[in-house]
Structure 1
Amino acid sequence: MITLTRKKKDASNSAADSSKRISIREFLLVKEVQELDQNLPNTCKITFQDPNVLSEFTLVITPNEGFWQGGRFKFVLFVPEEYNMAPPKVKCVTKLWHPNISVEGDICLSLLRLNSIDGLGWAPTRRLKDVIWGLNSLFTDLLNFEDPLNIEAAEQFARDKDKFQAKVREYVATYARR
């Protein structure tokens, strides 16, 4: 027969055991980070400031084609405790001229949204590699002038592609040198 005293003792033991348990986020991150080295595009490199903290890291993308070729673009990723039910938070810390990335570093990418109108938002089946490939693709095939975050950049592209490209090159030369 279980008594109240026994329940209290069990509760205190489970509290001590829970502090030793690894969170679901940490469990997933260990596995995913191990796989990332094999699944990264050759234009991407990740760095962990603290190798014991897998939930915060830097991604550097160096496009080898397109408007931003020759640039080095740095993104900071933070994986929240709610991962994989919630997407990572991503900020571009390199100033650039891009229709889907604001000058402040906010990013318009469906899979970073918990709810997206196109149905391509975050889902628990997505992984960090999907985020990295998506960010990398913003410099090539996912470049979207029809649904811009930086409306001024998209409008400039529509009006005068040469001026848009000149401004991109100026930003790359000023802020994104390798």
Structure 2
Amino acid sequence: MLTLASKLKRDDGVRGPRASNPASDSTRRVSVRDKLLVKEVAELEANLPCTCKVNFPDPNKLHYFQLTVIPDEGYYQGGKFQFEIEVPDAYNMVPPKVKCLTRIWHPNITETGEICLSLLREHSIDGTGWAPTRTLKDVVWGLNSLFTDLLNFDDPLNIEAAEHHLRDKTCRFHGHTFRHSPSCHKHS
């Protein structure tokens, strides 16, 4: 899986002593982000929640991957939710960009995929926002927790979903618990 780590070692071996051409060195230079990602992806894979799976469409691009969360408890139990995670060049000074690809009726996720999770914010009033000490593991565990203990109905991003939950906590649409948009029950 960590093919980028192999590439880094191979490039260091090919480059040899620093007396080589500076122009060719700059084209081979690996970013700080990519060096961090090699370590963080290994840590992430070793500590992945049992309800999550990661997929790297291109194993040479650790800065882009997909996360699937399949909650085993709570309102969203049995659902399958896909996220796209892109790690910007300025990582770890800025957080990864995350989008939910699955259309979901959730108080902290809009129907267009925006996510309200404080650790993904560069600046947070409550001090729980992004910090350079955070890692991809924190992001994955945070996204996983959106379906259990971080489900927030008091300060929602999707106000309609939160209000709907408060009105009817056991609402079921088409056999599923609190997972579809209001358009589902307009047709029933």
Bucket of the pairwise TM-score, normalised by the shorter protein: 0.7 to 0.9
- The answer (yes or no) to whether the contact 2:106–2:179 under 8 Å persists in 1 is no
Tell me the TM-score normalized by structure 2.
Answer: 0.81
Residue by residue over 1:117-148, the C-alpha shift from the partner in whole angstroms, topping out at 9 and shown as x without a partner, is 11100000000000000000000001110110
The aligned residue for residue 3 of structure 1 is none
User: Which amino acid is the alignment partner of residue 153 of structure 2?
Assistant: F
Q: Matches of residues 56-95 of structure 1 in structure 2 within 5 Å?
A: 56-95=64-103
Once the two structures are TM-superposed, the CA of residue 170 in structure 1 deviates from its matched residue by 4.5
User: Which amino acid is the alignment partner of residue 121 of structure 1?
Assistant: G
Tell me the TM-score normalized by structure 1.
Answer: 0.85
| Number of aligned positions between the proteins | 161
- The answer (yes or no) to whether the contact 1:97–1:167 under 8 Å persists in 2 is no
Structure with greater contact order relative to length (CA < 8 Å, sep ≥ 6): 1
Gaps of 5+ in 2: 1-20
Distance in 2 (alpha carbons) for counterparts of 1:69 and 1:119: 30
User: Which amino acid is the alignment partner of residue 158 of structure 1?
Assistant: L
The aligned residue for residue 107 of structure 1 is 115
- The answer (yes or no) to whether the contact 2:76–2:177 under 8 Å persists in 1 is no
Gaps of 5+ in 1: 1-12
Q: Secondary structure at the match of 1:161?
A: coil
Distance in 2 (alpha carbons) for counterparts of 1:170 and 1:90: 21
The aligned residue for residue 178 of structure 2 is 168
Distance in 2 (alpha carbons) for counterparts of 1:64 and 1:162: 17
Residue by residue over 1:58-83, the C-alpha shift from the partner in whole angstroms, topping out at 9 and shown as x without a partner, is 00000000000001100000000000
Percent identity over the alignment is 63
